[in-house]
Amino acid sequence: MDRIDSVAAFVEVAERRSFTAAARRLARSPAAVTRAVGELETRLGVRLLNRTTRAVSLTEAGDRFLAGARRVLADLEEIERAAAGEGIEPRGELRVTAPILFGRLHVLPIVTEFLGRFADVSVALILIDRPVELVEEGLDVAVRIGVLAESSAVATRVGAVRHIVVASPTYLAQHGTPQTPADLGAHAVVAFSGVASVERWIFRNATGEASVAIRPRLVVTTAEAALDAVRADFGITRVLSYQAADDIARGSLLRLLPAHEGHELPIHLLYPGGRHPPPKLRAFLDFAKPRLRRRCNAIMRAINS
């Protein structure tokens, strides 16, 4: 392998923490990738990777080298795209991921509008309710709800949501309105296992945090099902604010215990770090950021109305 190929092999191994996975990505044999990284280390005179039978990790020198290596490869990719006429107009497939319901309600409309603006771009929208590794799963950009784990991804905050407690006006008229989290013990609770524990809900107010035991009459695995049950006047549930915002705005559900909701959960757009975003990604980020911010602001207005 030449010098660029050796650097590319090292970056793939470093990002995937595996010679075998890197070899699959590069369509080369594991032996060829191992040899390329070894030649690079010999040329530099330092060890870049720690190797064991179970794992691959970066040395201190490898960690320093990785950032520069990514920049070099990104610059080369940008030069090649420009030479091929791709440096001006966005084109190609963009792979986007988002949580299922948030993606359907708020990301999909932005994606379809974006596609109407950029005819040479296609989008694969992967809706899934778990964090995914951008590089390992070949994704260009993610919409992520919640506190971000440590990573090399570049993140831009576009809004925030909260955990909120809701019930229908009819249910509350029949069973009363809880005034404190402890009052939930006297109510029919619908627990959504995707958001919080089905045994305890954590509440926070100005004086501190409280863990409240709940005894759900119904446990479901999707927010849609929990909200369907509550709309049918069955009981009280807790979801993320965007999931119930339209119902609250219409008055079909009421927000309960707002003083005990606690901290906001941030919403970020993020993409893999260490490289210049290609035109298709830059165009999507510029297009999506203001629109997602407007939608997130509308959600907060709806639940505060």
Report the distance separating Cα 77 and Cα 287, nearest Å: 23
Give the per-residue pLDDT at 137. Answer: 76
3-state helix, strand, coil in the chain (%, to 5): 45, 25, 30
Give the per-residue pLDDT at 87. Answer: 55
Per-residue pLDDT at 288 exceeds 90 = yes
The pLDDT tens digits for 210-223 are: 888 888 999 998 88
> Residue 157 is encoded by which pair of tokens?
């905050």
**Which of 37-46, 130-139, 263-272 has the least mean pLDDT?**
130-139
Please give the CATH topology (third level) of the domain spanning 92-161+265-304.
Answer: D-Maltodextrin-Binding Protein; domain 2 (3.40.190)
| Contact indicator for 110, 292 with CB cutoff of 8 Å | yes
CATH number for 163-260: choose from 3.20.20.70, 2.60.120.260, 3.40.190.10, 3.30.1490.100. Answer: 3.40.190.10
Per-residue pLDDT at 68 exceeds 60 = yes
Report the distance separating Cα 38 and Cα 214, nearest Å: 57
Give the pLDDT band (50/70/90) at residue 197. low
Q: What is the mean pLDDT of residues 24-53?
A: 89
Give the per-residue pLDDT at 291. Answer: 97
pTM score of the predicted model:
0.70
Please return the burial class of 80, using the count of CB atoms within 10 Å of its CB with bins 0-12, 13-18 and 19+: exposed
Side-chain-facing half-sphere of 24: CA atoms under 13 Å: 8
Give the per-residue pLDDT at 85. Answer: 57
CATH number of 3-83: 1.10.10.10
Give the per-residue pLDDT at 276. Answer: 67
Q: What is the mean pLDDT of residues 95-120?
A: 96
> Residue 1 is encoded by which pair of tokens?
């392998």
Assess whether the region 92-161+265-304 and the region 163-260 belong to the same CATH fold: yes
Q: Rg (Cα) of the chain, in Å, rounded?
A: 24
Percent of the chain surpassing pLDDT 70: 92
| Domains of the chain by residue range | 3-83, 92-161+265-304, 163-260
Per-residue pLDDT at 81 exceeds 60 = yes
Q: Name the amino acid, one letter, at 264.
A: E
Torsion, CA 175, CA 229, CA 146, CA 289, rounded to 10:
-110
Mean pLDDT value across the chain: 88
Give the pLDDT band (50/70/90) at residue 132. confident
Q: What is the mean pLDDT of residues 151-178?
A: 94
Give the pLDDT band (50/70/90) at residue 195. low
Per-residue pLDDT at 143 exceeds 60 = yes
Per-residue pLDDT at 196 exceeds 70 = no
Per-residue pLDDT at 21 exceeds 80 = yes
